[in-house]
Amino acid sequence: MMDARPETIGSATDFDFLIGDWSIRNQRLKHRFVGSDEWDEFPATSRVRKLLQDTANIDEMDVPEKGFAGLTLRLFNPRDGSWSLHWADSRSNCLFPPVIGHFDGGKGIFYGDDTDDGVPVRVRFLWTPSPEKPLWAQAFSRDGGETWETNWLMEFTKRS
């Protein structure tokens, strides 16, 4: 019988572009799912380091203007080449449901399920790697992924 698992397409080095210290320009949609185009812009800083024999990393983000800190724990699964991304922040002090995916064609795409104001949503993270200015985008879907609304953008700039 053939193994039904897909070929491994990811690598434990997929997020190496993000290791280091960063300044972040955040743009967060002020009102979701109402057709708004009003964005809140605010700065943050981040430090990303490897863990678990280089098969994971942690991103610690400080957002003083908004009064919170957050972290993302990223874990590589060598069995299928996927990554699971787990977010927590000082407002909730709990891990949010993970998004899971992989890098393909130079971009990372990750999906998960969560709630937004008590309403179930599908979540999508898009990573565009770059040694100097990586980009991250978060989008939510209320219709199972048929349509998406991007609600948070982050542009990273390497700190010296």
What is the chain's pLDDT, residue by residue, as a tens digit (160 residues)?
344 444 547 899 999 999 999 999 999 999 999 999 999 999 999 999 999 999 999 999 999 999 999 999 999 999 999 999 999 999 999 999 999 999 998 899 999 999 999 999 999 999 999 988 999 999 999 999 999 999 999 999 999 8
Joined together, the tokens standing for residue 101 give: 């995916």
- Any idea which residue has 């700065």 for tokens? 43
3-state secondary structure of 66: helix
Q: How many CA atoms lie within 13 A of 86 on its CB side?
A: 11
Q: Identify each DSSP E strand in the chain by its residue range.
A: 20-29, 39-51, 56-63, 68-77, 82-89, 99-104, 107-116, 119-128, 135-141, 149-158
Q: For 6, which DSSP code?
A: P
- Supply the pLDDT for residue 5: 42
Token duo for residue 16: 């190496």
Report d(CA 86, CA 100) in Å as an integer. 9
**Residue 66: CB partners within 8 Å, gap ≥ 6?**
42
pTM: 0.91
